[in-house]
Amino acid sequence: MMKGKTIGMQRGTVWIEEVTKENPNRLFVDDQDSIFKILEAKPVRYVFGNKRHLNFIKKKGYSAHMLSPPVAEIGIYPHIHVKNADLISQLYKTLTKMDEKGDVKRIRNEFLKKYTKLQ
């Protein structure tokens, strides 16, 4: 799908740079506003971003849509302050149960359904 196409991305987003490293046609910009400006100006066909960009796209009025499923998924790791270290075991158990019951997938799918509809 993306082979031979110019891809736009924000400089310094390591996981995006890693996922697209095989494509020699990459256009780097310095901020998220520029990503969608180059998409609308059409020097690029695709831009890479993450779910945070959804509100930004809507707020700025860009005519871009997030496609699903994602090209890549990265692990999200909860962080906890050292003073709450006694909660790590409980947090791990809760997250594991949520994943086993399918809650994590359900929440993710609800989010994607809400924010990836073409309007």
Q: How far apart are CA 9 and CA 57, in angstroms?
A: 15
Helix axes 103-115, 88-101, angle to 10 degrees: 70
> Are 54 and 69 found together in one domain?
yes
Q: Which residue has the tokens 């909660």?
A: 87
pTM of the model: 0.50
pLDDT at 93 (0 to 100)? 93
Residue 58: is its pLDDT beyond 50? yes
> Are 27 and 43 found together in one domain?
yes
> Are 8 and 64 found together in one domain?
yes
Q: Which residue has the higher pLDDT, 106 or 1?
A: 106
> Are 39 and 60 found together in one domain?
yes
Radius of gyration of the chain (CA): 17
> Are 3 and 39 found together in one domain?
yes
Tens digits of residue pLDDT in 41-52: 877 877 777 767
Q: Which of 7, 57, 14 is nearest to 32 (CA)?
A: 57
Residue 56: is its pLDDT beyond 70? yes
Tens digits of residue pLDDT in 18-47: 777 888 888 888 887 888 888 888 778 777
> Are 70 and 84 found together in one domain?
no
> Are 52 and 97 found together in one domain?
no
> Are 29 and 53 found together in one domain?
yes
Task: Please give the residue range of the domain that contains residue 92.
Answer: 76-119
Question: How does the average pLDDT of the chain come out, rounded?
Answer: 77
Q: What is the DSSP string of 8-64?
A: EEETT-HHHHHHTTT-S-EEEESSHHHHHHHHHHSS-SEE---TTHHHHHHHHT---
Count of domains forming the chain: 2
